[in-house]
Amino acid sequence: MKQKPLFIAFSTQKGGVGKSTFTILAASYLHYQKGLNVAVMDCDYPQCSVHDMRKREIRQLETNLHYQSKAITLFESLGKQTYPVVCSKPEEAISRAEEFLSKEAAGYDVVFFDLPGTINNEGVIATFMGMDYVFVPMSASRLSMESTLSFIIPASELIQEHTDINLKSIHLFWNRIDGRIKKEWLTHYQGVIREFGLSLMQTAIPQSVRYDKEQSLEGSDAVFLSTIFPADKNLVKGSNLDMLIDELLDIIHLKPRI
């Protein structure tokens, strides 16, 4: 009998903070570098940016011999192919995921859900609450904090009040931390987070252009953000991505297989 995978989402009410980026990075890191079996439900309907990225990368592989060779070497060493990316309306995401999983011969460890930026109807809220864990990227700005906390605080209270809800915990983490941000601002925001009893991860992600570094069309540049390749090891250094993934695995109680 196949095991039930963990349902995990990177979600935030503030657009442009990195939920889709971290969905891709975490899925690729776990699937290609940690030996886990991963699937992605792209629920940011109708644009489905993760699904579109996968299609774009495949088209690039068709004309770029460097990435073709790199992909063949990777998949032969792993003994498996890319992880599936399934496009779905957000309110149908859980039932769509269960249908997909029931038809798959292989078992999965994690299914990542890339939820829309605005959780504004009961169907999307039900999907959010149907996750096992939710991770929330946020920037150290008043606008980001207010937008994040306005939804996360009542969601956290709901978890504590209703034990029948599937969602076990919500974890916030700093993203795009600029070296110019004053430490007293971070200390203030962290105090607010603690005051409301919310969980803040220890790992903070620095501001870095590498988080946008995708495959080049004709070149052979190292890749950081990709659904087909893991983040390049040299680019991972100093990104704190590896630390974030290790902390995430510890939170969800899942051990790597390689």
- pLDDT one-digit tens code per residue, 82-98: 999 999 999 999 999 99
Residue percentage of the chain with pLDDT more than 70: 97
Q: Domain ranges in the chain?
A: 6-129+177-185+202-249
pLDDT score, position 210: 94
pLDDT at 16 over 70: no
Cis ω before 46 (30° cut-off from 0): yes
Please provide the DSSP assignment of the chain as one string: -PPPPEEEEE--SSTTSSHHHHHHHHHHIIIIIS---EEEEE-STTT-HHHHHHHHHHHHHHH-HHHHHHHHHHHHHHTS-PPPEEE--GGGHHHHHHHHHHH-SS--SEEEEE--S---SHHHHHHHHT-SEEEEEE-SSHHHHHHHHHHHHHHHHHHHH-TT-S--EEEEEE-SB-TTS-HHHHHHHHHHHHHTT-EE-S--PBP-GGGG----SSS----SS-SSSPPPHHHHTTT-HHHHHHHHHHHHT-----
Q: For 153, phi and psi rounded to 5 degrees?
A: -60, -55
Across residues 139-163, what is the average pLDDT? 84
Residue 144: pLDDT band by 50, 70, 90 thresholds?
A: confident
How far, in Å, are 60, 81, 83 from residue 68 at the CA level?
Answer: 9, 13, 17
Rg (CA), the chain: 18
pTM score? 0.94
- pLDDT one-digit tens code per residue, 152-204: 888 888 888 888 889 999 999 999 998 777 677 788 889 989 998 999 999 99
Question: Do residues 10 and 22 lie in contact, with contact meaning Cβ atoms separated by under 8 Å?
Answer: yes
Q: In angstroms, rounded to a whole number, what is the distance separating the alpha carbons of residues 225 and 210?
A: 8
pLDDT score, position 124: 85
- pLDDT one-digit tens code per residue, 212-231: 999 888 888 899 999 999 99
Q: In angstroms, rounded to a whole number, what is the distance separating the alpha carbons of residues 6 and 107?
A: 11
Select from 147, 139, 141, 125 the least CA-distant residue to 14: 147
pLDDT at 32 over 70: yes
- pLDDT one-digit tens code per residue, 107-119: 999 999 999 877 6
Return mean pLDDT, the chain: 91
Tokens 């809220």 appear where?
125
pLDDT score, position 140: 80
> Residue 199 class from Cβ within 10 Å (0-12 exposed, 13-18 middle, 19+ buried)?
middle
136 beta partners: 172
pLDDT at 79 over 70: yes
Higher pLDDT, 86 or 3: 86
Residue 146: pLDDT band by 50, 70, 90 thresholds?
A: confident
pLDDT score, position 15: 66
Residue 81: pLDDT band by 50, 70, 90 thresholds?
A: very high
pLDDT score, position 1: 61
- pLDDT one-digit tens code per residue, 60-72: 999 999 999 999 9
Higher pLDDT, 46 or 137: 137
pLDDT score, position 134: 96
